[in-house]
Each structure stands twice: as structure tokens, then as C-alpha cells.
């Protein structure tokens, strides 16, 4: 399936070592992160542990620490750092000319929550 | 990229732990080959004694079975002894001719038992006690023969003797020194141990020198003869007089050895391609035989093998515990005492309890416990951390539960791990029972507090059960629980301690988080969620108005200036000076609650009103409509000043506590500190504001104000210490302010005043604040300077560095 990229913001709109929340029409929020290398990552804004909003966590290296119980989540995979277990959904991101794009098709796809 | 070849010689606990660490951090660098002289995979050597005693089986003590090696693509050669290292060709050669080339070689050859050079040592039936083979030989001998002699009354010898006795043999322990376990026990404890082992049927011959072992016509040992002519029958002789680092292979290959393979702090030998870990090494002149130091070495070696190049092993402090069921014994440090030391001794020979604590310069430097070792882990912690024990000296002997600091919460008041049933909850925060911890320790081979925290979450939240968890590790992991790292590093990103970071920031005038990490050679690009907030605090507290606060290095609550809740909404608590409010304020609060449909309104313990369930997007508007200052209820800083009604209304009131409370709260309203600070002011000794459990508690008496410091109402209920008595409100502000400034300058991040005081001692604080008048005024001046002109984060976003973008979500 081809990507349907849509610009959501500029890289500069995300704080360095920080995140922004992207609202979706009906589905839960997506968090986009920016690290110190200006790499941008997108994850479902829910920690695999107790659903904490990852967008509110402290970003370091390529990880974010969940603000609720301090689980570390890998930004590139959405998975918890061992020995904790669990993954949150990750989303495709494209950065071009300082613009951050997300894939609308992916954003709108329904994900079976139980999976 | 072509993989490098890593060969490991020796398949014991230290070596395999190194591989585990290496696979965890860099799984793809090496093709790994392992040579083990024994025909078994990796087992827990410490637990051979319970196997000999019949309490566990070999199966129970396996740590990594053959499948583990296969799963990790490790080529495993069991039962193959390496006889030669060809360093020029970079290959090792085994006895049977097997050859393996290496780019890096890891020597983990362990140690060999020392065999007394007496005639008859080669007779059948004379063995050492080192591995599964020896253990099986002893079990077999116990089935056939009746008399055993164990030479050596140390840890290993006594465990062997006990096991053989349990298997029905008549056992005599021969020991050259005047008392048992002379390297771990003093004479009194040694004799008590002997007495209780004699009660179990063991026999002892002390101060005996072996002349020879006498054999029968078949070349099997039948007796032992001493230099004084005494002869004792023995069909089994176990030599347990000590171990020597096994350096034969390294020495033969020309690698520098000196009572151990000599390594530097990175576990590298004199051949830079060759590393060594475990009992075979000599690190800074010490060869270790306990498991925790070996695991510390493993961590460091793995780091360097992975080419990360940053860990250092700096030696360990160790403790000992005998694994003989029913005998409790613990020793650590300089338990024999010595010059400049003092001893506190409790001796109850009939009750079978003996405790000796050795103290030097108000610090615990050694401990020897017999019969009651419950507080072993606590003493060990005090010893390792070099805590000042001056203030708890009078109750030190009676253990952690009796040092005037009861009130650990969340585990039903249990203080003795051994007495807890498996179903009892140890960690009340994460709901972890003793049984879960015990099985994690056994199944996953955990040995350190950190490991247990990671795997079970026990003691990983509030930490009040740390002592209990340490006890459980001690009891379960065998006695070899010990901990390295005298001074604890801040986190995994660095080897530096909190104090070192504070000092570096002050001495080198570092002003940004990045500067600190660069200057102190952090090993991660931008720290972690644990060190960044700490460094940010140290910066702004050391260089107020110069260092620039970094919101991204703050926990979310201090970044969004509200408290995050479990569902991701926030709670908002406005200031109510001294807990006093007005109709106008209450009306505005009511209007805000209606307008933003705030689901819950709650009165807090700090005499304020909490609005719970506010959506993040609504925060700026809620703050604006409230029109009240931020209560900083989310901050590591001054929370609230709780007051009683005081002399204005109360018929008992002697002082105007509400007014003083408001003055204090106004003075300190925007103060950040290492952890939260709570203050209370009561107007008379009835103390309705509960000043006794606050960081700073003030109690009005007819003649003035009494100040108390270091109280705590949380995890560890702690009654505040009396600090000073003063006359005027101005004096209270100055003295309390100076105390808090000292805490702000010296406290470690997330250290409450109670813990800060326990670390530095109340005397230190008294000297700085009460005795040094100029010093106190200077402290207070520095506090006022720090707080001068600080913005209100709810109403001055720009000046308070509040990133307003966080309140506006993006859309697609």
C-alpha cells in the first residue's frame, strides 16, 4: 500500500528532547518525538504498561521514559526496554525540508485494540 | 560486517555472566566459542554445599543449560581443557587438539584448591572441594565409608563437613589456627560456632598440623597423622585449606601474573587482546572469591568487549555468610578491630547470640554477628556507604528496627525477611510477595538489589522495603550476597556520584546540562530520566540567575506545572497562603470548576484545594480564570505551609501561627529544592498543624518559637529533631531559610531533609546554621538572591520558560 503523507508540523515545532501530541478524529492520540539529533519518531501515545501518555515523558537518546511509572520505551520500535515487556504501536514518519509528515492511511487504519 | 571472534576459556559463573552482559548490550559483534574443562554447562558453584547436604540437586543449581548456548549461537566445548594460548597466532589449543582462533580472548579460569604438600596427598580418597565432580565423590564416599576428615575450618571446609555429617559420616575437622573461620570471625564467635557444630555431632581438632596421610595396601587413604603423633582414622580426606587463582595457562603463555592474572580497571591483562574475569584475576592486589565482585567485573569486561570503553571496576567490599542451615553468621569489613577502632559488643553465650560492631571515626568499619544476623544487610549498607553513625550509636546494636526510625509502611510491619511467609507482601507499591522475589532470584540467577528491582519491581518505587529485599537476597542467593560500589554512581549513564556532579558544577562553573555531561564524560548522549533532572537542579541551585533552567530535563509535572494523573489528565492546586482563603477565591474556584467541567474537587492534606481531572489543553485557561498563584504542588520545592488558627481565634493559642506561616510561605513560595519541602507552624504545643513531621516545623510557645527540622510523614515516619528556639518572626525566617538553603546546596537530588540529615548529621547543620552567625546570614542572603524575582509559572510563561506549545495538540 502506498503512503499518503500529510504534513503535521515543522521539526522546529517539536521541542528538542521533547514531544507533541497529534489528535486523531476518533482514535487515541499519537505522540511525535524529536531527539537531540533531530530524528523524529511517532508512537501511539500510550505506554504498553498502564497506558500512560508517552508524549509527556522525558526523552533521552532514542528512548522516552513514561511519566507514570518510568518504563523506558524505545522510540524506533515502541517496545519497552528489558526486562519490562510490551510494545506500543509505532507509526511511519517522513521528514523533508524540515517538515514532518505522517501517513494518513496508517493514522486512519483501525487497529484491533486487543491485539 | 564480519564478526570478530571471541573465545572464552573457563565456563564458570563469572565468565558466563560476562557473556550474558555482552549479549545484552552488543549481541552481534562476536562469534563466541567457550571452552569448559568440566563436562557441565554453567552452574551455581555457591550452591554446591546445599547439594552435598542433600537439600538441593545438581538440576536445581544449573544457571545456563546447554540449550542456552545453542540459542545464543555460542559454540560450546565441554570437557575440553585448554593447554596452550598461541598469542602470536591468536589461537588456543585444547588437550584433545581442538583449536580456536580469537580476536579477543577472555580468561575465566577460576581458582584451584590448594592441596597441602604432605606425604599421601595422592592417595585415593583424598580430594578437594571445588566442583560437581568433587561433590559427587563425597556423596559416593559417604555411602561407602564411615570416617571423614576435613582439613580446613574455613567457610568451605565447614560446609563440606556439615554436608558429610548429614550424609551419615563421622566427621572430624582439622584446623591449624586457634578458632574456626579465622578470616571471617573473631575468637568469641568462632568458638560459639564450634560449640553449635559440636552439638550437631561434628568433631574438631584445632591447632593441629598434618604430618602425613596414611594409606592401606590398595593405595586408599585410611588415616591422618599429625605432627604431635596423634592418628585419626579417615577413609575420606577433604582438603579445604584455601584456593589459589588458576593462572597456570596464563603464566605458561607469558601473560603477567602475580597471585592472579594481573588486570587493570577495565579487566584487561597485559596483553591488550586478552581480558580476564573472576577468581583467576588479581585486581589492585586483591583476588576475590565471592560472587558479587565477580559479577561487577563481568559487567565491566562486557562493556569493554563491546567496545563501549567506559566502565571501570574499582574493587568491592565483601561480606560473608555461612551456608549451613540453622546457623546464622555474618561478617564484613574489619571485624577484628585494630588501632584507632572502638567496639560495641553484645554477648549472650547461653542464648547463642554474639554481635560485635567495630567503629572508627563515627563510622561502622566492621561487623561480626553470630546467632542473630537479621541486621547484617543493614550494617553492611552502613559500612559500604560510610554513613556517619554518631547519632544512632546508642541504638546501633539493636538494629535497624530500633534506631528510632520505625514506620516503614506498606509491608504489614514485617522487619524480618526470614520470618515472612512466601505469600506476604514485601513491596506494597508494586504488590510483590516474598515468594515471587525468591523464585526470581533462584530461576533467573539474580544476585544484586538492582537485578531484583529490574526483574520483580520490588523496592523499585518508594524504596521503603529495600532492607527487606536485601535480606531476602542474602538468604536466598546463598550467603555470597555482597555489593560493590562503595559510592553509588548517579545512574547507568556515568560512574560519577551525585556529590561529584555537584562539586564539578561548582568548581568549574558549568552552566548547562550538556556542559556537565561533556565535562564529566557521560557515556550516553543526553543522559536519562534519572540523571537529567538531577543535573538540572544542581545547575539552577548552584548558579541561580546564571544557569538556564532546562524544561526538557524536568519531570512532566514541573514542565506542565500541574500534577499528571493516572489517566493523563492533570490536577491543579492554587496557593492559599497559610491555608487561609476567602469568599472571592472560593467563588472563582467554583466558577472554574463549572466552566471546565472539572470532575473532582478535593481538600488536600496541606490545607489547599485540589482540582482533579483537568485536560492539559485547558490548563492555561484554568490558571488564568483562577487568577491565583501556582501552588507548586507538583514541584520538588516548597509545597505548602500548614498552619493552625493560632492566637487570633484559638483560646489556647500563644502565638500568631497563621501570620508566621503566611510570611514563611510568601518568602519561600517559588523555591525549588532537592525534593519536596513541607513546612508547618503551630501556635501552641498542642501542635495542631503537625509540625513534628515536617521538613521544617515551627511550634509557638509563650516565650517564642521552637524550630524542628528533618521530620517526615511519608514512607518513613520520622519525628523532626529540635533545632533551635527563637524569639521573633524575622529570626524564624532567617534560621529556617538558612537551613533550607544549606539543604538546597548540599542535598542530593530526590533526597528529603530526613535523609540529608541522616547523611551529613544534625551536628553539621547546627554548626553551619546555629554556631556560625556570619555563615547563617550568608546562607539566608544566598537564598533570598536565588528566589529574587522568580516568576509565577502559571502567569508568566516566558520568564518561567514554560513551553506553551505543549498545551496545543496538533491535528491531521
Residue ranges per structural domain of chain B:
4-111+245-305, 126-241, 498-554, 637-791
> What is the band of B387 on the pLDDT scale with cuts at 50, 70, 90?
confident
Q: What is the DSSP letter of B771?
A: I
The answer to whether the CB of B529 falls within 8 A of the CB of A70 is yes
H-helix segments, B176-290: 187-199, 248-252
> What is the band of B446 on the pLDDT scale with cuts at 50, 70, 90?
confident
> What is the band of B24 on the pLDDT scale with cuts at 50, 70, 90?
confident
Q: Provide φ and ψ at B575, rounded to 5°.
A: -65, 140
**Chain B: closest CA distance from residue A109 (Å):** 14
Name the E strands within B118-168: 126-128, 147-151
pLDDT tens readout for residues B750-770: 999 999 998 888 989 999 999
- Select from B517, B634, B810 the residue whose CB has the most chain A CBs within 10 Å, as the one to mutate to test that interface: B810
Residues 517-546 of B with CB under 8 A from A: 524-529, 532-533
Residue B559: list chain A partners with CB under 8 A.
56
| Interface touch B812/A102, C-beta < 8 Å | yes
Q: Of the given ranges (A46-55, B275-284, B364-373), which has the lowest mean pLDDT?
A: B364-373
Of A20, A52, A83, which has the smallest distance from its Cβ to B810's Cβ?
A20
> What is the band of B484 on the pLDDT scale with cuts at 50, 70, 90?
very low
What's the mean pLDDT in B17-40?
93
Q: When comparing pLDDT for B330 and B504, which is higher?
A: B504
Of A16, A53, A59, which has the smallest distance from its Cβ to B568's Cβ?
A53
Q: When comparing pLDDT for A83 and B519, which is higher?
A: B519
> Which chain B residue has the Cα nearest residue A5?
B812
Q: Does B556 lie at the interface with A, CB-CB under 8 angstroms?
A: yes
Quick check: do B126-241 and B637-791 share a fold?
A: no
What's the mean pLDDT in B42-47?
85
The sign of the CA dihedral B528, B531, B537, B541 is negative
What's the mean pLDDT in B507-534?
95
Beta-bridge partners for B6: B32, B104
Burial grade of B462 (CB within 10 A; 0-12, 13-18, 19 or more) = middle
Q: Does the pLDDT value for residue B463 go beyond 80?
A: no
The answer to whether the CB of B678 falls within 8 A of the CB of B736 is no
The answer to whether the CB of B242 falls within 8 A of the CB of B177 is no
Cα B346 from Cα B331, distance rounded (Å):
15
Closest CA to B155 of B294, B291, B9: B291
Cα B459 from Cα A102, distance rounded (Å):
40
Cα B542 from Cα B503, distance rounded (Å):
10
Q: Does B272 lie at the interface with A, CB-CB under 8 angstroms?
A: no
What's the mean pLDDT in B505-511?
95
Q: Provide φ and ψ at B367, rounded to 5°.
A: -150, 140
Q: What percentage of chain B exceeds 90 in pLDDT?
A: 69
Q: What percentage of chain B exceeds 70 in pLDDT?
A: 95
Beta-bridge partners for A30: A22, A44
pLDDT tens readout for residues A12-23: 999 999 999 999
Q: Provide φ and ψ at B232, rounded to 5°.
A: -125, 135
Residue ranges per structural domain of chain A:
5-108
pLDDT tens readout for residues B104-139: 999 999 999 999 999 999 999 999 998 999 999 999
> Which chain B residue has the Cα nearest residue A17?
B552
pTM reported for the whole predicted model: 0.70
What's the mean pLDDT in B529-542?
96
Closest CA to B108 of B290, B320, B267: B267
Of B455, B533, B568, which has the smallest distance from its Cβ to A83's Cβ?
B455
Residue B431: list chain A partners with CB under 8 A.
none
> Which chain A residue has the Cα nearest residue B450?
A83
Q: Is B540 helix (H, G, I), strand (E, B) or coil?
A: helix
What's the mean pLDDT when you consider all of chain B?
90
| Interface touch A6/B524, C-beta < 8 Å | no
Q: How many pairs of residues across A and B have Cβ atoms under 8 Å apart?
A: 93
- Number of Cβ atoms within 10 Å of the Cβ of B67: 9
Cα B676 from Cα B639, distance rounded (Å):
7
| Interface touch B556/A60, C-beta < 8 Å | no
The answer to whether the CB of B444 falls within 8 A of the CB of B458 is no
Helix-helix angle B187-199:B155-166, to 10 degrees: 10
> What is the band of B55 on the pLDDT scale with cuts at 50, 70, 90?
confident
pLDDT score recorded for residue A1: 56
The answer to whether the CB of A22 falls within 8 A of the CB of A101 is no
Burial grade of B117 (CB within 10 A; 0-12, 13-18, 19 or more) = exposed
pLDDT score recorded for residue B184: 84
Q: Does the pLDDT value for residue B404 go beyond 50?
A: no
| Interface touch A52/B568, C-beta < 8 Å | yes
Q: Provide φ and ψ at A45, rounded to 5°.
A: -80, 45
> What is the domain class of B4-111+245-305 according to CATH?
alpha beta
Closest CA to B609 of B638, B645, B565, B640: B640
The answer to whether the CB of B186 falls within 8 A of the CB of B335 is yes
Strand-strand pairing, B210-215 and B221-226 = antiparallel
Q: Is 3.80.30.20 the CATH classification of the domain at B126-241? A: no
Q: Does the pLDDT value for residue B703 go beyond 50?
A: yes
Q: Is B569 helix (H, G, I), strand (E, B) or coil?
A: coil
> Which chain A residue has the Cα nearest residue B554?
A58
> What is the band of B339 on the pLDDT scale with cuts at 50, 70, 90?
confident
> What is the band of A113 on the pLDDT scale with cuts at 50, 70, 90?
very low
Beta-bridge partners for B92: B85, B100
Cα B11 from Cα B802, distance rounded (Å):
56
Q: What is the DSSP letter of B632?
A: -
Beta-bridge partners for A109: none
pLDDT score recorded for residue A17: 97
Beta-bridge partners for A20: A32
What does each C-alpha distance from B621 to B165, B615, B807 come to in angstroms? 78, 11, 10
Cα B43 from Cα B49, distance rounded (Å):
13
Cα B258 from Cα B272, distance rounded (Å):
17
What does each C-alpha distance from B713 to A22, B54, B428, B757, B760 come to in angstroms? 41, 48, 17, 15, 20
> What is the band of B413 on the pLDDT scale with cuts at 50, 70, 90?
low
Q: Is B719 helix (H, G, I), strand (E, B) or coil?
A: coil
pLDDT tens readout for residues B295-337: 889 989 999 999 988 788 988 777 776 666 677 788 888 888 8
Q: Of the given ranges (B174-188, B269-283, B535-549), which has the lowest mean pLDDT?
A: B174-188
Reduced DSSP (H G I as helix, E B as strand, rest coil) percent helix, strand, coil of chain B, to 5: 35, 25, 40
The answer to whether the CB of A52 falls within 8 A of the CB of A68 is yes
The answer to whether the CB of B41 falls within 8 A of the CB of B68 is yes
Q: Does the pLDDT value for residue A114 go beyond 50?
A: no
pLDDT score recorded for residue B415: 60
- Select from A18, A58, A81, A91 the residue whose CB has the most chain B CBs within 10 Å, as the one to mutate to test that interface: A58
Q: Does the pLDDT value for residue B485 go beyond 50?
A: no
What's the mean pLDDT in B616-633?
97
| Interface touch A17/B527, C-beta < 8 Å | no
Closest CA to B280 of B243, B317, B320, B318: B243
Which CATH number applies to B637-791? 3.30.413.10
> Which chain A residue has the Cα nearest residue B528?
A60
Cα B662 from Cα B641, distance rounded (Å):
7
pLDDT score recorded for residue B416: 67
What's the mean pLDDT in B88-93?
95
Q: Of the given ranges (A39-43, B62-66, B646-650), which has the lowest mean pLDDT?
A: B62-66
> What is the domain class of A5-108 according to CATH?
mainly beta
Amino acid at each position: 500500500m502506498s503512503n499518503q503523507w500529510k504534513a503535521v508540523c515543522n521539526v522546529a515545532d517539536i521541542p528538542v528532547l521533547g514531544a507533541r501530541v497529534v489528535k486523531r478524529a476518533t482514535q487515541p492520540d499519537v505522540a511525535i518525538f524529536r531527539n537531540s539529533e533531530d530524528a523524529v519518531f511517532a508512537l501511539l501515545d500510550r505506554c504498553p504498561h498502564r497506558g500512560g501518555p508517552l508524549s509527556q515523558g522525558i526523552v533521552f537518546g532514542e528512548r522516552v521514559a513514561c511519566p507514570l511509572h518510568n518504563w523506558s520505551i524505545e522510540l524506533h520500535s515502541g517496545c519497552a526496554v528489558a526486562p519490562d515487556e510490551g510494545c506500543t504501536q509505532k507509526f511511519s514518519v517522513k521528514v523533508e525540508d524540515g517538515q514532518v509528515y505522517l501517513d494518513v492511511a496508517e493514522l486512519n487504519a483501525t487497529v484491533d485494540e486487543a491485539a | 560486517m564480519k564478526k570478530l571472534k571471541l573465545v572464552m576459556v573457563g565456563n564458570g559463573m563469572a565468565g558466563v555472566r560476562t557473556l550474558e552482559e555482552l549479549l545484552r548490550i552488543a549481541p552481534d559483534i562476536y562469534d563466541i566459542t567457550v571452552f569448559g574443562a568440566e563436562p557441565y554447562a554453567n552452574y551455581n558453584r555457591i550452591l554446591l554445599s546445599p547439594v552435598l547436604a542433600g537439600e538441593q540437586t545438581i538440576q536445581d543449581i544449573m544457571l545456563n543449560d546447554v540449550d542456552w548456548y545453542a540459542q545464543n549461537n555460542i559454540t560450546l566445548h565441554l570437557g575440553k581443557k585448554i593447554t596452550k594460548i598461541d598469542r602470536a597466532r591468536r589461537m588456543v589449543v585444547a588437550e584433545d587438539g581442538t583449536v580456536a582462533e580469537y580476536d579477543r580472548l577472555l580468561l575465566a579460569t577460576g581458582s584451584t584448591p590448594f592441596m597441602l604438600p604432605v606425604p599421601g596427598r595422592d592417595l585415593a580418597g583424598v580430594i578437594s572441594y571445588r566442583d560437581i565432580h568433587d561433590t559427587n565423590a563425597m556423596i559416593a564416599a559417604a555411602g561407602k565409608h564411615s570416617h571423614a576428615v576435613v582439613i580446613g575450618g574455613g567457610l568451605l571446609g565447614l560446609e563440606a563437613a556439615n554436608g558429610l555429617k548429614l550424609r551419615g559420616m563421622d566427621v572430624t575437622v582439622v584446623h591449624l589456627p586457634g578458632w574456626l573461620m579465622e578470616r571471617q570471625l573473631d575468637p568469641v564467635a568462632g568458638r560459639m560456632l564450634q560449640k553449635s557444630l559440636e552439638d550437631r555431632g561434628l568433631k574438631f581438632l584445632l591447632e593441629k598440623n598434618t604430618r602425613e596421610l596414611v594409606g592401606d595396601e590398595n593405595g586408599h587413604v585410611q588415616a591422618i597423622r599429625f605432627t604431635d603423633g596423634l592418628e585419626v582414622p579417615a577413609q575420606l580426606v577433604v582438603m579445604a585449606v584455601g584456593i589459589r587463582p588458576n593462572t597456570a595457562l596464563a603464566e605458561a603463555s607469558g601473560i603477567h601474573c602475580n597471585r592472579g592474572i594481573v588486570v587493570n580497571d577495565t579487566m584487561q591483562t597485559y596483553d591488550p587482546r586478552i581480558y580476564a574475569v573472576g577468581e583467576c584475576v588479581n585486581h589492585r592486589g586483591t583476588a576475590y572469591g565471592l560472587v558479587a565482585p565477580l559479577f561487577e567485573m563481568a559487567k565491566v569486561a562486557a562493556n569493554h568487549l563491546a567496545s563501549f570503553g567506559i566502565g571501570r571496576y574499582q574493587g568491592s567490599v565483601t561480606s560473608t555468610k555461612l551456608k549451613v542451615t540453622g546457623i546464622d553468621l555474618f561478617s564484613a569489613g574489619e571485624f577484628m578491630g585494630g588501632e584507632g577502632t572502638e567496639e560495641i559488643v553484645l554477648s549472650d553465650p547461653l542464648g547463642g547470640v554474639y554481635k560485635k560492631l567495630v567503629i572508627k571515626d563515627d563510622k561502622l568499619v566492621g561487623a561480626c554477628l553470630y546467632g542473630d544476623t537479621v541486621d547484617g544487610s543493614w550494617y553492611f549498607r552502613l559500612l559500604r556507604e560510610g554513613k556517619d553513625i554518631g547519632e544512632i550509636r546508642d541504638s546501633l546494636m539493636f538494629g535497624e528496627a530500633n534506631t528510632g526510625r520505625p514506620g516503614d509502611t506498606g509491608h504489614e510491619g514485617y522487619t524480618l525477611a526470614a520470618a515472612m511467609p512466601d505469600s506476604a507482601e514485601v513491596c506494597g507499591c508494586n504488590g510483590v510477595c516474598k515468594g515471587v522475589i525468591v523464585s526470581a532470584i533462584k530461576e533467573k540467577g539474580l544476585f544484586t538489589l538492582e537485578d531484583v528491582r529490574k526483574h520483580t519491581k520490588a523496592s523499585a518505587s518508594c524504596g521503603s522495603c529495600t532492607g527487606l529485599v536485601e535480606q531476602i537476597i542474602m538468604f536466598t542467593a546463598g550467603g555470597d550476597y555482597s555489593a560493590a560500589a562503595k559510592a553509588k554512581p548517579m545512574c547507568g549513564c556515568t560512574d560519577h556520584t551525585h556529590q561529584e556532579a555537584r562539586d564539578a558544577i561548582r568548581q568549574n562553573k558549568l552552566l548547562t546540562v550538556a556542559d556537565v555531561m561533556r565535562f564529566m564524560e557521560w557515556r550516553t548522549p543526553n543522559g536519562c530520566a534519572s540523571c537529567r533532572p538531577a543535573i538540572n537542579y544542581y545547575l539552577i541551585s548552584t548558579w541561580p540567575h546564571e544557569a538556564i533552567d532546562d524544561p526538557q530535563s524536568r519531570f512532566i509535572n514541573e514542565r506542565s506545572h500541574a500534577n499528571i494523573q493516572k489517566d493523563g489528565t492533570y490536577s491543579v492546586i492554587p496557593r492559599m497562603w497559610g491555608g487561609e482563603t476567602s469568599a472571592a477565591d472560593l467563588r472563582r474556584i467554583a466558577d472554574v470548576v463549572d466552566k471546565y467541567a472539572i470532575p473532582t474537587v478535593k481538600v488536600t492534606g496541606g490545607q489547599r484545594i485540589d482540582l482533579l481531572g483537568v485536560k492539559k489543553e485547558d490548563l492555561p485557561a484554568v490558571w488564568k480564570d483562577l487568577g491565583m498563584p501556582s501552588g507548586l504542588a507538583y514541584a520538588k520545592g516548597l509545597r505548602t505551609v500548614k498552619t493552625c488558627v493560632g492566637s487570633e481565634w484559638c483560646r489556647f493559642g500563644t502565638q500568631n501561627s497563621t501570620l508566621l506561616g503566611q510570611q514563611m510561605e510568601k518568602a519561600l513560595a517559588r523555591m525549588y529544592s532537592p525534593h519536596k519541602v513541607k513546612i508547618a507552624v503551630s501556635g501552641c504545643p498542642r501542635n495542631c498543624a503537625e509540625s513534628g513531621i515536617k521538613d521544617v516545623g515551627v511550634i509557638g510557645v509563650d516565650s517564642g518559637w521552637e524550630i524542628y527540622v528533618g521530620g517526615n510523614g511519608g514512607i518513613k515516619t520520622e519525628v523532626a529533631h529540635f533545632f533551635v528556639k527563637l524569639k521573633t518572626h524575622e529570626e524564624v525566617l532567617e534560621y529556617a531559610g538558612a537551613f533550607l538553603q544549606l539543604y538546597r546546596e548540599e542535598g542530593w537530588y530526590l533526597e528529603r531533609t530526613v535523609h540529608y540529615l541522616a547523611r551529613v548529621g544534625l551536628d553539621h547543620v547546627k554548626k553551619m546554621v546555629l554556631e556560625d552567625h556570619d555563615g547563617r546570614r550568608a546562607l539566608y542572603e544566598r537564598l533570598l538572591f536565588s528566589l529574587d524575582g522568580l516568576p509565577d509559572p502559571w502567569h508568566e510563561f516566558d520568564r518561567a520558560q514554560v513551553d506553551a506549545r505543549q498545551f496545543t495538540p496538533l491535528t491531521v
